Amino acid sequence: MIRTFFLALAIALAPAMATATSCPGNPDALGTERTIEVDAKSTPRIGRKQFPVTLPLHAKELVLTFDDGPWPGTTPKVLNALKSECVSATFFLLGRNAAAHPQLARRAVADGHSVGHHSYSHPPLDRMPVAKAEAEIDRGIAADELALYGERRTTPTTPFFRFPGFASNRAILDRMSKRGVVVFGADVWASDWVRMTPEQELHLILSRIEQVGRGIVLFHDTKAQTAQMLPAFLHELKRRGYSIVHVIPARSRSALQ
C-alpha cells in the first residue's frame, strides 16, 4: 500500500524539465536544475515539518520558498539575487501586501517564479471557525489575483497555499484538498523571524540544510537579514553541490470549483 502510494506520487511529480539551462551573463550561476509539477489530487500537502511526506527530491535538491511579501526594500533585493543566479523559487503572498505593492507581486511572476497564497492578514487560522478561516483565505487569494492578473477571484491561478505560522487543522486542510489546493509546509527553515545578522542566518540555514540533505526551504522576503544574506547563500549552495528545483502546478489539473 505504502509502496503504491509513493509510486503514484513519483509519477504525479514527474520532472517537467530534466536539466538546467544556461544563465545569461553568469556562466557560474547556481541555476535551476529542473521543474516538477504537483497536483493536490495526489499531493494535498507536503513538508515534513508538518506532514508525513514531502516532495520526492533527490539528494542535495532544494526548493526555495519565501513568505509574507511582497515588501518594498527587501523583496526587490531577493528577486535581484535570484535573478542573478537564474534561480526559480515560490513566493507565498499576503493579500494585504500584494494589494499595497502589486508591481512587486507582478515582478515575481514576470521573473518566472511560482506565486502562491498565504492568507490576507496572517491570522492563526486554526483558531477560527472553518467558514471564517476560509473567508480569510479567500480574501487573500482575491487580493493576490487582482494584484497579479487584474481580476479579483477566489479560484487561484496557482493553487498553492501555506498556512500562516503553519497553524492548520484537519477541517481546513480537508477543505483545501477538496478545492484542489496544495498545502505547503517546509522541511527546513532559517528562523529568520528571529533577529540575527545575515552571517548568523547563513550559518544557521546551511547547518540545517546539511542535516536534512534535501527539501523545501522556508525564508521570508520581508526580512532585511534574509535579503542581505541571500547572495552568499546561493553561492555557497553552488559550492557545496546543491541543486534547485522549481515547483509548478500540474498542467493537467482540471479547473477548480
Asked if residues 216 and 187 have their Cβ atoms less than 8 Å apart, the reply is yes
* H-helix or E-strand spanning residue 239: helix 224-239
Would you list the domain boundaries of the chain? 2-249
Distance CA 105, CA 103 (A): 5
The CA R_g of the chain, rounded to the nearest whole Å, is 17
Mean pLDDT, rounded, of the chain: 91
Q: Which of 206, 210, 230 is nearest to 59 (CA)?
A: 210
Q: Which of 84, 88, 161 is nearest to 125 (CA)?
A: 161
Burial of 2 (0-12, 13-18, 19+ CB in 10 A): exposed
In this prediction, residue 16 has a pLDDT band, given cuts at 50, 70 and 90, of: very low
3 state SS of 201? helix
Q: Please spell the DSSP secondary structure of 112-176, one letter per residue.
A: T-EEEE--SS---GGGS-HHHHHHHHHHHHHHHHHHHHS---SS-SS-EE--GGG---HHHHHHH
The yes or no reply on domain 2-249 and CATH 3.20.20.370 is: yes
Q: Which three cell numbers stand for residue 163?
A: 498556512
In this prediction, residue 81 has a pLDDT band, given cuts at 50, 70 and 90, of: very high
> What is residue 96's DSSP assignment?
H
Residue 30's CB is within 10 A of a number of other CB atoms, namely: 23
Residues 95-151: tens digit of each pLDDT: 999 999 999 999 999 999 999 999 999 999 999 999 999 999 999 999 999 999 999
3 state SS of 60? coil
Q: Report the predicted TM-score, pTM, of the whole model to 2 decimal places.
A: 0.90
Percent of the chain topping pLDDT 70: 89
- Residue 22: per-residue pLDDT: 82
Q: Which of 180, 122, 132, 175 is nearest to 156 (CA)?
A: 180
Distance CA 172, CA 125 (A): 8
